Amino acid sequence: MPAEFSSAVLDAEPATVRPGEAVECAHCVLPVPPGLIAVERDRQFCCHGCEAAYELIHGTDLAGYYAICEQLDTHPPQAVELSDSCEEFDHPAFIERHVRMLPDGRCEVRLLVDGIHCAACVWLLEKLPRLLRGVVSARVDLARRVARVQWDADAVSLSTIARRLRSLGYAARPAGGDAESDGFHQANRRQLVQLAIAGACAGNAMLLAVAMYAGWFSGIADDHSRLLRLASAVLGTVSLLGPGATFYRGAWNALRTRTPHMDISLSLGLAAGGLMGLVNTWRGTGEIYFDSLCMLVFVLLTGRYMQFRQQRRAAERVAVLRGLVPCIASRINGEGRVERVPVEALVVGDLVEVRVGDALPADGTVVSGTTQLDESLLTGESAGVRVADGDSAPAGAINLTAPIRLRVVSTGHETQVGRLSALVEAASLSRTPLVELANRASGVFLIVVLVVAAGTLAAWWPTGVDQAVDHTIALLIVACPCALGLATPLTIAVASGQAARRGILIRSGDVFELLSRRGTIWLDKTGTLTTGDLSLRSFHGDRSVAPFVRTLEEGIAHPVARSLARTLGCLTARDGLSEPSPLPDEFQYFPGLGVAGRFGDMRIECGSRRWLESRGADMSAVELWLADSPAAATTIHVSRDGRVVATFLLGDAPRDEARDTVTALQQAGWRVGMLSGDQSDIARAVARDVGIEPSRVIAGVLPEEKLEVIRRTSETEQVVMVGDGVNDAAALAAADVGIAVQGGAEASLRAAKVYLTQPGLGSLTELLAGSDRAMHAIRRGLALSFAYNITAVTLAACGMVTPLLAAVLMPLSSLSVIALATMQRAFPHSSTMATNGSRP
């Protein structure tokens, strides 16, 4: 295979450039901007970064990377030019926190690498020792996007490694969560070992039982029978004392907290059966139950392990998603120089610089500079907030227009974001504990079985102690919570697995049960019902100016200008105006106001109404255009030679499928409401667009108020919250089911029980429909195991459960439950979903 990979690339013809044809970058396969095409060269690159990465990869004989990418139908991440020193990776505070010293003098760090998304990335990054001298090894965990890098601190610095990764297009940051991941591995290993022992005991005990049952029919020599029973007893004792101890511990905890739990009846059955079996082995007569007991232990442990894996898998994928506060800050030291430090090193009173496009590393007061901040993750407000000297600015907000300097006021947990996460944690803890369906059922079941068992013992007592004890133990064993205990977790595990393949990660077993009831769904607006980006909502006037406006706006870094340029690109292409206009002969940018340019003898100005009026433009056409425009949009006017000829309305557009989703939810019996931190008229306009009743729109609410709304609603009914931002996190945690949508902030993902990895709301309807189907499957499984148990208990109480019948009934019930659970299709397969469903 590897040979094929490499030859495919080396034999490839160099790309020849034909005029007017889109050219792909030889590294990242993105289109190459026309200005950068050099016809005389063999290969074209979209930027210097890609060219450097391409040369680096070829220079080290790793060209197979491109072939693997091609084979997997993916492409490398766009490489970036080296502007960062990555010096924060060498900071003592960083090293102390994230770097582990190995006994042999090497260093190890776990880096979260954003660009990792396919096997080709694994291949290339694990060749890091060949790309950089001093790196000893690099191990990539594809699912978690974590690279574990070991290096020789004398030969190379961590910042050099980070720079090299970045030059290949992989931005790295510390992964954190070492302890958490170690804890998971420990638990995983412990459970696997227990499963292995229980499985081996169960399998062998079953084989011995077959021999004994055969002997029961056709006769068997006494000493052989004794040997088989002895071997069974050994296996049974190992299984009951080793892996079986889990259940005794569970039962003990349940007894201490006085909650009925399946483990109590299980432990009772296991202990009684085990003791009786040992006594009977010793005596040489009577029933031994070791085959059933071993099987019971194994099957139940399997069910628990599946639950454990499923919860962990969802939690892991969430944990690797991007944090809100950056891990790096640019601190200005005593001499006025900027040094890059990890945020952990910041203290109150430090002066930090925040560049355009970066998130604020700490809460602070602006000391110099005036800019717009995007605080939408904190407040839900989609419009930028203007800050100037003396204003306070929260950590996590994104600096939009101009660099600023901040005096740090609070850091880490003390920041607004930090306090919000504390709120989230508190809300998750105070959530009313929901007893899982199986546990609730088994609590009742436990009492019934114990009563019947006592009755059986009393009823058979007159006919002989031996017989009475035999029948009672037969009852305890055959009244197998096995089917009951396995049906629900197995169905949930299978349904969750199917959901995960469809991009729906479910972290809590009770989600299906909760979602199958009806109540109120609160939807967040920004980023959930809407795309969260500004885009062109409507256009009035003369379309022929569009290419000129696009050229002007492309020159500006302001987010409004960017979205206008982007959407204009699509619009003009549709109208056959895709040819970009010539570059302006004169270009003038008025920050925060507008932009002016001269194309030959034509003057084009675009900007806000007030600014154009102040420049003396004729605005007479505008009133008519604005009369029927949607509320709540950013308006940009364009004047040509002093007369306004066009108006663009930009807004946060509802997602295409938002209306259908809302309708589908309403038809399914949910009450749908909107909860937004945004201004009320914007929220109402979106609500109207997607079909939410105005009476169910609550706008302009702070995170605390969102939480309050959820708490109030959940007093009377089932509440589902769908959201994405940190401002939703507390509400997500407090709702009966919190659903975080793709692109959300980490805090909201941690708080939510469900995470939708596919963009858009399509998964939401799928999740709700799937939950209904999963609940049907669970109920079917429960009904079956109840039917089995009632039959078996009745037979056992009447003393009719012979060893043979027990041997037939036990596996039959387990098998039928497993078959039912695995054959259900709560979330139908789809061929379009690839394995990299976790890709952001």
Partner 1 sequence: MSVLYIALPAALLLGGAAVAAFVWAVRSGQLDELETPPFRAVFEDPPRPRE
Name the residues that contact partner 1, by CB under 8 A. Answer: 1-3, 5-7, 10, 61-64, 67-68, 119, 122-123, 126-127, 140-143, 185, 188-189, 192-193, 196-197, 200, 203-204, 221, 224, 227-228, 231, 234-235
Buried b (16+ CB within 10 A) or exposed e, 623-633: eebbeeeeebb
Of 25, 366, 287, 322, which is closest to residue 176 (Cα–Cα)? 322
Nearer to partner 1, 197 or 351 (CB): 197
Q: Any bridge partners for residue 648, and if so which?
A: 539, 636
d(CA 732, CA 721): 6
Match 């003393």 to its residue by tokens: 799
Distances (CA, A) of 359 to 323, 356, 389, 404, 592: 11, 9, 18, 11, 20
d(CA 76, CA 50): 10
Nearer to partner 1, 14 or 34 (CB): 14
d(CA 171, CA 163): 8
Nearest approach, Cβ of residue 290 and partner 1 (Å): 13
> CA angle, corner 327, sides to 321 and 328, nearest 5?
145
Token code pair at residue 445: 């079941």
Instruction: Look at residue 150 and give its three-state secondary structure.
Output: strand
Nearer to partner 1, 226 or 413 (CB): 226
Nearest approach, Cβ of residue 263 and partner 1 (Å): 24
Nearest approach, Cβ of residue 189 and partner 1 (Å): 5
> Please, are residues 747 and 417 in contact by the beta-carbon 8 Å criterion?
yes
d(CA 144, CA 115): 12
Nearest approach, Cβ of residue 798 and partner 1 (Å): 36
Instruction: Look at residue 634 and give its three-state secondary structure.
Output: strand
Nearer to partner 1, 116 or 515 (CB): 116
Nearer to partner 1, 125 or 674 (CB): 125
**533: Cβ–Cβ under 8 A, 6 or more apart, which residues?**
563, 652
Q: Return the amino acid letter for 295.
A: M
> Please, are residues 36 and 44 in contact by the beta-carbon 8 Å criterion?
yes
Nearer to partner 1, 2 or 455 (CB): 2
Nearer to partner 1, 3 or 22 (CB): 3
> CA angle, corner 311, sides to 310 and 316, nearest 5?
100
Nearer to partner 1, 114 or 141 (CB): 141
What secondary structure, in 3-state letters, does 103-124 show?
CCCCEEEEEEECCCCCHHHHHH
d(CA 335, CA 324): 30
Nearest approach, Cβ of residue 97 and partner 1 (Å): 23
Nearest approach, Cβ of residue 10 and partner 1 (Å): 6
d(CA 621, CA 69): 53
Nearer to partner 1, 231 or 409 (CB): 231
Nearer to partner 1, 122 or 774 (CB): 122
Q: Return the amino acid letter for 839.
A: R
* CA max distance for the chain: 115
Residue 677: count other Cβ atoms within 10 Å of its Cβ: 26
> Please, are residues 427 and 734 in contact by the beta-carbon 8 Å criterion?
yes
d(CA 452, CA 442): 15
Nearest approach, Cβ of residue 114 and partner 1 (Å): 17
Nearer to partner 1, 1 or 823 (CB): 1
Nearest approach, Cβ of residue 142 and partner 1 (Å): 4
Nearer to partner 1, 141 or 689 (CB): 141
Phi, psi of 147 (to 5 degrees): -110, 130
Nearest approach, Cβ of residue 535 and partner 1 (Å): 37
Nearest approach, Cβ of residue 185 and partner 1 (Å): 5
Nearest approach, Cβ of residue 304 and partner 1 (Å): 17
Token code pair at residue 359: 């998130």
Instruction: Look at residue 37 and give its three-state secondary structure.
Output: coil
Nearer to partner 1, 295 or 653 (CB): 295
**Ordered DSSP codes for 749-760:** HHH-SEEE-SSS
The radius of gyration of the chain from alpha carbons, rounded to an integer in Å, stands at 33
Nearer to partner 1, 58 or 711 (CB): 58
Residue 129: count other Cβ atoms within 10 Å of its Cβ: 15
d(CA 799, CA 793): 10
> Please, are residues 119 and 72 in contact by the beta-carbon 8 Å criterion?
yes
Q: Return the amino acid letter for 86.
A: C
Nearer to partner 1, 139 or 322 (CB): 139
Nearer to partner 1, 15 or 119 (CB): 119
d(CA 747, CA 732): 10
